[in-house]
Amino acid sequence: MNKTLSTVRNSDLLDVFDLWDNLFPLRLWDSGSSYPRLNVIEDDKSLVVEASVPGLTKDNVSVTYSDGLLTVSGEKQVSKDDKSAKVHVRELHKSRFVRSVAVSPDHFDVDGVSGKVENGLLTVLVPKKQNVKDNGMRKITLS
């Protein structure tokens, strides 16, 4: 595993939240928060963080960096009810999310972070620093 980045949720492990949602798709309560799916992709030039944010715009999403954490947050509003209308079913609720990814300022140019929201996908680009010293990681041949 690359020591320069880690995520709050590890996709290699059993995701208890997904298991719960699959077993009980109808929620009888709503905590008001949710977790968008993330892709964290590292290549030779950058780290790319993608988050699924359907229905949100750049005005509803925030990206911050502080103390080694790149944090993505957002809030989805729902339309106001017409006071004269009778609501029969309400499944759309106001919701918010916060997701964080650890990003080492020793290896990434955290001052050069950029991002955009397009077609329900938030894309955050964190460029790698040039001339970074070897992190000491070596592949060990097993016998």
The predicted-structure confidence for 83-137, as pLDDT tens digits, reads as follows 778 878 877 777 888 999 999 998 999 999 999 999 999 999 999 998 766 666 6
Q: What is the SS3 assignment for 109? A: coil
Taking only the tens place, the pLDDT of each residue in 47-64 is: 999 999 988 899 999 999
Look up residue 132 and give its two tokens: 């970074």
Helices (H) and strands (E) in the chain, counts: 1, 8
Taking the model in full, what pTM does it have? 0.66
Indicate the burial class of 64 (C-beta count within 10 angstroms; 0-12, 13-18, 19 or more): exposed
